[in-house]
Chains A and B, each alone.
Chain A
Amino acid sequence: DADVTQTPRNRITKTGKRIMLECSQTKGHDRMYWYRQDPGLGLRLIYYSFDVKDINKGEISDGYSVSRQAQAKFSLSLESAIPNQTALYFCATSWTAVDTQYFGPGTRLTVL
């Protein structure tokens, strides 16, 4: 079984809809991250969490919110989706900020 799982893997939605992407991990890591990946722009950090009570904004947090329900679960929400949020979204985990990041398989989100 995969250490980092993401659901759904693919999602098509309409402008204005609320969307939640979920991430679960079995690695026991405290640190979890949400990135979006766009062609030509690389991986950009949306939010990160050091533990259940510590949530931090990344470089592109506007339009997104997160919830760390447990050590193993970190959800990303788009309150009112817009077309320029169409992207590939990755969740990742790590022991510390400088250690290996373990990525999930990604969620491809399309906002029409």
Chain B
Amino acid sequence: TQLLEQSPQFLSIQEGENLTVYCNSSSVFSSLQWYRQEPGEGPVLLVTVVTGGEVKKLKRLTFQFGDARKDSSLHITAAQPGDTGLYLCAGVTGANSKLTFGKGITLSVRP
């Protein structure tokens, strides 16, 4: 059973469109991270959310942590080709406090 479910798995949109992607779980997380991975590179952290209901903005990207700390969403406004990449969410849970990654969302923004 996948601890973190990300959806949709693939998304292809036109430049200028808005989009929302999701990271869901039945487990409660003490914190949740979002990473972006570009082809040929390793993942790079975008944001960490810690408090239930927290909203963080990074330019055109808006991240929200669910009130129950079981899910998160990423909204991109006016997507640009530079937003193309694999978006990974990763959560910390349990006594071992290890980071567990979702399978990722592949986003393609067409010019």
Contact = CB atoms under 8 A, between A and B. Distances in A.
B101 A42 contact: yes
A99 to B, nearest CB: 8
A1 to B, nearest CB: 15
Interface string A76-97: 0000000000000010100011
B108 interface: no
B99 A41 contact: no
Given A92-B42, A103-B44, A105-B40, A97 B103 contact: no
Interface in B62-111: 88, 90, 92, 96-99, 101-104
Nearest to B97: A97
A46 to B, nearest CB: 13
How extensive is the interface on chain B, given as a class? 20 to 34
Please tell me the size bucket of the interface on A: 20 to 34
B30 interface: yes
B44 A98 contact: no
A35 B37 CA distance: 14
Contacts of B103: 40-42
A97 B92 contact: yes
Interface of B: 9, 30-31, 33, 40-45, 48, 88, 90, 92, 96-99, 101-104
Interface of A: 4, 35, 40-45, 48, 90, 92, 96-98, 100-101, 103-106
The 8 closest A-B pairs by CB, nearest first: A103-B42, A42-B103, A97-B97, A43-B101, A100-B45, A98-B92, A103-B43, A90-B42
